[in-house]
Structure 1
């Protein structure tokens, strides 16, 4: 049989990857905060396996929860049936979510969590006798996923431009990142005043726009945007796919500004990084609009085969318990350590600035035309024992919440060494 690297080249097509220029690195296992390749080399998982791993790999309690559920049943549909892991995780999410979010609709990715919120908001207004409310507002440089509905409220030209003809287009508000936010709020208010009768919802990533390069919003923007939406009777959809479950130092980024949205979209860390799972939380007011006789056809006609997969829900419930008992507290300890490390990295030649929100950070490199500097630095970091992934000329740090002091030291050292080598 062909070796795995060769077989990968022969049959695989990887996401966001130029396959003509890529050499596979095959991961064999994981242990704690580390990935281990087939040669036994260890790498600190500096991006939490694309921002989803919370407690490290092979966490004993999460492993046990998965095994225990597997002894019962691996999957049963949530369409017309129910099961204990789905019910218990839903109740736990309602308990910890911002006040007023009382209903949980499961799916299996961040993109679907957002699309469900968009569709539920749209249908709510149709059911409430306001059929003109069909449009959506979004933030410039937004990223909400890669399915067409999510791309329709996205704004990253590099990813989204080619699919423009396929999309239902949204109305853009300038990103507040890097500003005082006043201009973005003024534009948002203008759209709401002039077009609020036709707008169903405003969708946004709270505090930090991850895929835009860890671009941080000014303090207070989320709360002021929420107030404008309430004033003009427009839903607020908050996409916490990346920021949820402790990444910002709170369970949810909304907590930092006391915001309770109409919809909360969750994925990535919801299962601790073990299995695909997502949830869209909504208010009781929205939920009750869908109630009625079956022949009225008010029900929400949307669902996925693996919605509320019992294995994912069981491990998600245990992950939430571990998060509340230990991982969130550990993250809060490591946030200032990351701030200090970034301050030192910012002094390197070739680093334009650093940006941070909790344990999410971006190192903005000074662009060099014709050179993929971010990718080069991330590749070199592997030689120093750290796995990173860039966003263009931004080197991203999103380590597990279980990061230890020695891991933070390694993350800084490997990144700094890779920058020096790339710019030598």
Structure 2
């Protein structure tokens, strides 16, 4: 495969444009070409094996080539790969919408709108929240509240809600009208004259992902729900990262018994197999779009409710039930915490470890507590060094993300942390 590997790399350098990537640096380096996966492992075109330490950009839940998920896609291919959801229904979408709604209390999130990825799930939610107000004649409620350092995707509307400058950039000048706050206390200090113009608040529950995996205080989510309820403001929860078991519960909001008005999911929805997303909302929101044509939600995608994606998502939910994934995950969450605590003891460069379920951020600093100079790109260096020790993951600045597939065993977790320890020792200097 070595000749093919060289050809693939040269074709990539000549024609591909990668996301979040400094292309000049990319073309000057030797990339990995990933060609095969099984369980928590990936292989490159040179035959080298790696632990998938960030679940293929936070998407993979049950491992690569899971037999139930593979079989679900093959069975659906024997029927049809894709049909339009505009003006037609399909069996798998009907079944999946019912299964997703059934994960929440009766009478809450009863409607499901399918789209393609996390960013479009957010676009759906904020557009629904805004049009809901307009359909009801609440023309003064057009503002949104988001939290500093939040991240909700890269399409224009989603980016305008984000609070991380390196990702939103110029987009903050466009899109939705947004007020950013740091915590619930800032909301509680907001005068009524200002809150009266808010349509919805959006939040990543329990933990902010792109903000170097920083956790919210316990009880914050419940307090936010109470604040919204008292003012008739919708709550949008972005569970694109945290959904489907990542925090130890099926959804992060369940830790504080909170049900939002809009719930956005993607990534783990199909176990990393297909690009697919869903926005769940209430019958009260749905009913506001009924009646005259002007109230219709004119939004959608060519691959909305793609049958292959729906089929594999259904199979993934079956795996959660039949393999008792959440129950079996609990000891591994504790084991990962133990392994990372040992890492901090042995590595003076580990400044802080922030863990929420099976999500961890390992922040690196110099032994004296000062940050590494930005130009050293220490986080990137450590992750690149980890390749030779059999670990694939990515940093957020100098915070290394460890987010394994839920299928990882204790032995595999130990391998990943040992590889990370070696990489920190060699790359964080």
Alignment TM-score, normalising by the size of structure 1: 0.95
Q: Which runs of 5+ in 1 are unaligned?
A: 175-183
For 2:223 and 2:252, locate their aligned partners in 1 and report how far apart those are by CA, in whole Å. Answer: 15
Listed as ranges, the matches of 1:309-328 within 5 Å are 309-326=306-323, 327-328=325-326
* Contact 1:237/1:262 (<8 A) preserved: yes
Counterpart position of 2:272:
273
Counterpart position of 1:308:
305
| Cα shift at 1:324 | 2.6
For 2:139 and 2:10, locate their aligned partners in 1 and report how far apart those are by CA, in whole Å. Answer: 54
* Contact 1:98/1:259 (<8 A) preserved: no
Counterpart position of 2:242:
243
Q: 1:332 aligns with which of 330, 333, 336?
A: 330
The secondary structure found in structure 1 opposite 2:362 is strand
Listed as ranges, the matches of 1:98-113 within 5 Å are 98-99=105-106, 100-113=108-121
Q: Which runs of 5+ in 2 are unaligned?
A: 366-370
Counterpart position of 1:344:
342
For 2:76 and 2:245, locate their aligned partners in 1 and report how far apart those are by CA, in whole Å. Answer: 25
- Number of matched pairs: 413
Is 2:203 the counterpart of 1:204? yes
* Contact 1:97/1:252 (<8 A) preserved: no
Taking a change above 3 Å as real, the CA distance of residues 124 and 42 of structure 1, as seen in their structure-2 partners, is same
Taking a change above 3 Å as real, the CA distance of residues 329 and 95 of structure 1, as seen in their structure-2 partners, is same
Counterpart position of 2:368:
none
Listed as ranges, the matches of 1:135-214 within 5 Å are 135-174=143-182, 184-191=183-190, 193-214=192-213
* Contact 1:192/1:232 (<8 A) preserved: no
Is 2:102 the counterpart of 1:95? yes
Q: 2:402 aligns with which of 391, 397, 410?
A: 397
| Cα shift at 1:321 | 1.1
| Cα shift at 1:195 | 1.3
* Contact 1:8/1:24 (<8 A) preserved: no
* Contact 2:361/2:401 (<8 A) preserved: yes
For 1:423 and 1:83, locate their aligned partners in 2 and report how far apart those are by CA, in whole Å. Answer: 52
What CA deviation, in whole Å up to 9, does each residue of 1:36-95 have, x standing for no partner? 111111101000001110010000010000000001000001111000011101100001
* Contact 1:98/1:254 (<8 A) preserved: no
For 1:144 and 1:120, locate their aligned partners in 2 and report how far apart those are by CA, in whole Å. Answer: 16
Q: 2:88 aligns with which of 77, 81, 86?
A: 81
| Cα shift at 1:162 | 3.3
| Cα shift at 1:192 | 6.3
Counterpart position of 1:32:
39
Counterpart position of 2:64:
57
Alignment TM-score, normalising by the size of structure 2: 0.94
The secondary structure found in structure 1 opposite 2:202 is strand
| Cα shift at 1:97 | 2.9
For 2:225 and 2:173, locate their aligned partners in 1 and report how far apart those are by CA, in whole Å. Answer: 31
The secondary structure found in structure 1 opposite 2:299 is coil
C-alpha root-mean-square deviation of aligned residues, in Å?
1.3
What CA deviation, in whole Å up to 9, does each residue of 1:328-387 have, x standing for no partner? 223222100111111112221111101000000000111311210001111111111111
For 1:332 and 1:225, locate their aligned partners in 2 and report how far apart those are by CA, in whole Å. Answer: 27
Greater displacement, 257-266 / 19-28 = 19-28
Taking a change above 3 Å as real, the CA distance of residues 385 and 405 of structure 1, as seen in their structure-2 partners, is same
For 2:189 and 2:87, locate their aligned partners in 1 and report how far apart those are by CA, in whole Å. Answer: 43
| Cα shift at 1:189 | 1.9
Is 2:411 the counterpart of 1:414? no
The secondary structure found in structure 1 opposite 2:237 is strand
Q: 1:372 aligns with which of 362, 377, 381?
A: 377
Is 2:394 the counterpart of 1:385? no
* Contact 2:122/2:238 (<8 A) preserved: yes
What CA deviation, in whole Å up to 9, does each residue of 1:196-251 have, x standing for no partner? 22100000000000111110011000000010000011000000000000000000
For 1:50 and 1:109, locate their aligned partners in 2 and report how far apart those are by CA, in whole Å. Answer: 13
Counterpart position of 2:142:
134
Counterpart position of 1:124:
132
For 1:277 and 1:132, locate their aligned partners in 2 and report how far apart those are by CA, in whole Å. Answer: 33
Counterpart position of 1:179:
none
For 2:238 and 2:414, locate their aligned partners in 1 and report how far apart those are by CA, in whole Å. Answer: 31
Counterpart position of 1:356:
355
Is 2:225 the counterpart of 1:217? no
Greater displacement, 222-231 / 124-133 = 124-133
